[in-house]
C-alpha cells in the first residue's frame, strides 16, 4: 500500500509455483466502491469472463421409448464399413473437445442397451457410435459466470513462503438457464497479488454415486417434515437398519409393496416422495489427477434439474480442529426451490444432501465457519425479505430462527440478505450483506456482529460498500453486484463478486481500515 492506504498497481509480473508459471490477475478498471469510501482502494482486479468453449458431454435423453428404439434400429441397420467411417467422423469432430470421449460414448450406450436384443454381437465401434447418438454437448457457462465464493484450498503443496492457494467457486449458467458449480484455483502471495493456476479448456462431470449410505433417523425426520411419514412409510423404515443404502431402500419398498398390506396411505405418492428424498441425497467423485478448473458439479437430482444456484462455500473448523468445507446452495427445478448442503474435505469427493427443518427454506443460507456456544449457526433469509440467525445441534436440521435485521436503508428497502458466511475478526463477525433498492438494483453492504452473540449488530455502514458502476450495470440481469463468500488473508478482506449476473471480479479491502470505519460510525 502507499502512504494513503491504497493498493498499488503491481504490474503484470508472473509467479513460479512448482513447475508452473502462473498468470497474474492485473489491476485495471475504475473504482467500484462507493464514492464515500475512496479510502479503501482505487483499483479492482480484472473480470472472470464466461467461456462458451467449455462444454460437457451429457446424456441426450429421449423420453419417448419408441423414438429411442427407432434411432437404435437405424444405426443397427447400416453395414460395418459405414459404421467405421461414421465413427471416424465423430471422433475427428469431437475427440479434441473431451478428454475421454470414448468412455463417455460407452457409458451412454450402456444407458440404452436394454432396448437391444442381441447386444453381445455388436462390435465395439457400433456400440460407441450408438452411444454418440445418445450424447449431446452442453456449454456450461455460455450465458454467465457469476456469484463467486472463495476459500483457502486444503492442499497447500508446491508453494513458497508467504503463498496461499485458494479455490474460487462460480455459478456457471448455460442454455435454458441451467446452473452448475465450476471452480478456479489461484495462488496469493504475501502482498495479496493474485495469480491464476493453470486453467483447462476441458471440463467434465464426476462419477455419480446414487447409492450412498443414509441415516435412518435423519431420513425419518425429513419424511415427517414432508408429511409423508404415514403407516406405509413407517413399515418400510422399520425393516431397514440404522444405516441403509439406496439399493436396500428400493428392495424394501418393493418387498412391502408386494405384500399388499392394507393401509389408508396413498402408496404410489408415498413411494414417489421417498424416492425423491433418496435421490436428492447423493455423492460425486472427481479423479484425483483432474485439475480444479476441469471439475463441474452439474445438476443430478430431479429437484435441481434447472440449476444448482449460488453455492456459499466456507471452510468450517470442527471442535477437534479438523477442517471440512460446507456449501449451502439452492436447488431449482423450474418451479420450486430447495435448500441443499454440500460437504467435502478435498474438493474431489462431495456429499450432497437436503437441508431439513421448518426453517430450512427460501434462498441465501450461509453457515458460520465454526460452532458458536456449542451449536452450528447460520445466517438466512427465510421470508425472502429479512435477515435471520439460526442455531442447530445438527448441521442438516434447522427448526428455529430469530429475526436480527429488516431493511432500513433506501438501497435495501426491497429485501436484505447475506453475501456469504460471516468472517471472524477480533472485533466481531464481518457480515457482507446484499440489499435491493429502486429499479431492483443490488448493492453490497457490510456490518459487524458480536462474536459471542451474533444476533447483536455492533455496527454497520449506512451506505453500500460496493455498488454497480456504469461499466458493471449491463448484463444478463442489469444493475447487480453480488457475492457468495469472502475471506481475510494477509490483513485484507478479499471479496470475489459478480456484476449483473454475467461476469465476476475480485476486490481487496484493508481490514484495519474497514473496522476503523465500522466502529467509528
* 197 is a domain residue: yes
Mean pLDDT of 25-50: 48
Residues 355 and 242 occupy one common structural domain: no
What share of the chain has pLDDT > 90, as a percent?
A: 73
Helix (H, G, I), strand (E, B) or coil at 59: strand
Q: In this predicted structure, what is the pLDDT of residue 3? A: 30
- Using the structure block, give the residue that is written with the C-alpha cell 484495519: 512
Q: What is the per-residue pLDDT across 404-423, written as a single tens digit (0 to 9) for each?
A: 999 999 999 999 999 999 99
Domain housing 243: 213-279
Q: How high does pLDDT run on average in the chain?
A: 89
pLDDT digits (tens, 9 = 90+) for 361-383: 889 999 999 999 999 999 999 99
Give the whole-angstrom CA distance, residue 252 versus residue 341.
Answer: 27
C-alpha of 110 from chain center: 29
Q: Are residues 310 and 387 in the same domain?
A: yes
pLDDT at 17: 59
Q: Are residues 305 and 415 in the same domain?
A: yes
Same-domain check for residues 437 and 510: yes
CATH number at residue 20: 2.115.10.20
Element (H, E) at 192: none
- Please give the average per-residue pLDDT across 185-203, as a whole number: 92
Do 314 and 237 share a domain, yes or no? no
**pLDDT, tens digit, for every residue of 128-148?**
999 999 999 999 999 999 999
251/354 same-domain check: no
Quote the number of domains for the chain: 3
pLDDT band at 21 (very low <50, low <70, confident <90, very high): low
Does residue 5 lie within any of the structural domains?
Answer: no
Residue 444 has pLDDT above 70, yes or no: yes
> Which of the 8 DSSP states describes residue 99?
T
Local confidence band at 20 (pLDDT 50, 70, 90 cut-offs): low
Q: Return the number of other C-beta atoms located less than 10 Å from residue 392's C-beta.
A: 21
Mean pLDDT over 331-343 rounds to 90
Domain endpoint, select from 246, 262, 279: 279
pLDDT at 390: 98
The predicted pLDDT at position 46 comes to: 55
Q: Indicate whether 264 pLDDT > 90.
A: no
Residue 222, pLDDT score: 87
| Last residue in a domain, options 80, 112, 139 | 139
On the question of pLDDT at 436 being above 80, the answer is yes
Instruction: Provide CB contacts within 8 A for 369, sequence distance 6+.
Output: 314, 315, 316, 317, 421, 422, 423, 424
Round the CA-based radius of gyration of the chain to a whole number and report it: 25
Please tell me the least confidently modeled range out of 4-18, 42-56, 368-382.
4-18
Decide which of 395 and 40 is more confident: 395
**What is d(CA 361, CA 353) in angstroms, rounded to the nearest whole number?**
14
Cα distance between residue 359 and residue 382, in whole Å: 7
345 — pLDDT class (breaks 50, 70, 90)? very high
Specify if 501 maps to a domain: yes
pLDDT exceeds cutoff 90 at 44? no
Return the pLDDT at 521: 67
Indicate if 274 and 303 belong to the same structural domain: no
Which residues is 135 bridged to in the sheet? 59
- Per the domain annotation, does 3 fall within a domain? no
Q: Using alpha carbons only, what angle is made at residue 331 by residues 298 and 360, rounded to the nearest 5 degrees?
A: 145
pLDDT band, very low/low/confident/very high, at 303 (cuts 50, 70, 90): confident
3-state secondary structure 236-266: HHHCCCCEEEHHHHHHHHHHHHHHCCCCCCC
- Both 240 and 383 in a single domain? no
DSSP string, 119-182: GGGS-HHHHHHHHHHTEEEEETTSSEEEEEEEEE-S---S--TT-EEEEEEEEEE-GGG-EEEE
Its pTM stands at: 0.89
Cell of 424: 471472524
In a domain, 4, yes or no: no
Distances (CA, A) of 296 to 204, 482, 486: 6, 21, 21
DSSP state letters, 397-453: B---EEEEE---SGGGSSEEEESSS-EEETTEEEEEEEEE-GGG-EEEEEEEE-SS-
Looking at the fold, whether 514 and 395 belong to one and the same domain comes out as yes
- Which pLDDT does position 12 carry in this prediction? 45
Quick one: which of 447, 437, 422, 428 has its CA closest to 518?
A: 447
Q: Is residue 40 predicted with pLDDT exceeding 60? A: no
User: Mean pLDDT across the stretch 108-131?
Assistant: 94
How far apart (Å, rounded) are the C-alpha atoms in residues 97 and 79?
28
From the CB of residue 232, how many other CB atoms can be counted at a distance below 10 Å? 21
Indicate the residue among 124, 139, 154 that finishes a domain: 139
Centroid of chain to Cα 185: 15
Do 335 and 193 lie in one domain? The reply is: yes
Exposure on the CB side of residue 454, measured as CA atoms within 13 A: 29
Q: What is the pLDDT of residue 320?
A: 96
Q: What's the mean pLDDT in 448-474?
A: 93
Amino acid at each position: 500500500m502507499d502512504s494513503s492506504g491504497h493498493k498499488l498497481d503491481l504490474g503484470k509480473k508472473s509467479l513460479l509455483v512448482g513447475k508452473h508459471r502462473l498468470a497474474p490477475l492485473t489491476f485495471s478498471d475504475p473504482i467500484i466502491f462507493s464514492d464515500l469510501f475512496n479510502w479503501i482502494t482505487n483499483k479492482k482486479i480484472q473480470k472472470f469472463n464466461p467461456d462458451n468453449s467449455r462444454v460437457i458431454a451429457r446424456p441426450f435423453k429421449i423420453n419417448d421409448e419408441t423414438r429411442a428404439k427407432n434411432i437404435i434400429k437405424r444405426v443397427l441397420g447400416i453395414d460395418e464399413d459405414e459404421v467405421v467411417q461414421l465413427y471416424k467422423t465423430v471422433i475427428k469432430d469431437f475427440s479434441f473437445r473431451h478428454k475421454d470421449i470414448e468412455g463417455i460414448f460407452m457409458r451412454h450406450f450402456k444407458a440404452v442397451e436394454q432396448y437391444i436384443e442381441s447386444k453381445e454381437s455388436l462390435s465395439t465401434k457400433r456400440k460407441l457410435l450408438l452411444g454418440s447418438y445418445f450424447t449431446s454437448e452442453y456449454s456450461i457457462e455460455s450465458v454467465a459466470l457469476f456469484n463467486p465464493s472463495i476459500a483457502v484450498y486444503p492442499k497447500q503443496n508446491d508453494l513458497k513462503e508467504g503463498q496461499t492457494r485458494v479455490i474460487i467457486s462460480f455459478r456457471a449458467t448455460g442454455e435454458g438457464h441451467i446452473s452448475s458449480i465450476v471452480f478456479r484455483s489461484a495462488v496469493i502471495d504475501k502482498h495479496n497479488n493474485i495469480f491464476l493456476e493453470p486453467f483447462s479448456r476441458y471440463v467434465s462431470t464426476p462419477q455419480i454415486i446414487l447409492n450412498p449410505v443414509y441415516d435412518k433417523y435423519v431420513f425419518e425426520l425429513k419424511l415427517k417434515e414432508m408429511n409423508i411419514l404415514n403407516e406405509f412409510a413407517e413399515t418400510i423404515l422399520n425393516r431397514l437398519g440404522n444405516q441403509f443404502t439406496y439399493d436396500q431402500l428400493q428392495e424394501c419398498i418393493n418387498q412391502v409393496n408386494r405384500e399388499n398390506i392394507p393401509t389408508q396411505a396413498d402408496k404410489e405418492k408415498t413411494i414417489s416422495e421417498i424416492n425423491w428424498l433418496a435421490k436428492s441425497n447423493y455423492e460425486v467423485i472427481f479423479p484425483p489427477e483432474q485439475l480444479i478448473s476441469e471439475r463441474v458439479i452439474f445438476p443430478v437430482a430431479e429437484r435441481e434439474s434447472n440449476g444448482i444456484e449460488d453455492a456459499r462455500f466456507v471452510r468450517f473448523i470442527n471442535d477437534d480442529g479438523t477442517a471440512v468445507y460446507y456449501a449451502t446452495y439452492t436447488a431449482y427445478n423450474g418451479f420450486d426451490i430447495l435448500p441443499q448442503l454440500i460437504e467435502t474435505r478435498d474438493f474431489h469427493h462431495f456429499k450432497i444432501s437436503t437441508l431439513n427443518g421448518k426453517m430450512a427454506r427460501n434462498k441465501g443460507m450461509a453457515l458460520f465457519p465454526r460452532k458458536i456456544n456449542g451449536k452450528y449457526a447460520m445466517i438466512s433469509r427465510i421470508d425472502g425479505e429479512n435477515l435471520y440467525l439460526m442455531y442447530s445441534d445438527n448441521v442438516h436440521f434447522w427448526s428455529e430462527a430469530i429475526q436480527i435485521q429488516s431493511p432500513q436503508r433506501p438501497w435495501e428497502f426491497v429485501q436484505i440478505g447475506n453475501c456469504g458466511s460471516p468472517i471472524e475478526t477480533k472485533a466481531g463477525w464481518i457480515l457482507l450483506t446484499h440489499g435491493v433498492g429502486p429499479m431492483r438494483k443490488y448493492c453490497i453492504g457490510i456490518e459487524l456482529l458480536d462474536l459471542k452473540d451474533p444476533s447483536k449488530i455492533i455496527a454497520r455502514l449506512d451506505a453500500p460498500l460496493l455498488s454497480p458502476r456504469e461499466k458493471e450495470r449491463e448484463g444478463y440481469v442489469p444493475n447487480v453486484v453480488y457475492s457468495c463468500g469472502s475471506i481475510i488473508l494477509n490483513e485484507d478482506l478479499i471479496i470475489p463478486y459478480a456484476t449483473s449476473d454475467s461476469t465476476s471480479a475480485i476486490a481487496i479491502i484493508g481490514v484495519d481500515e474497514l473496522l476503523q470505519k465500522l466502529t467509528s460510525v
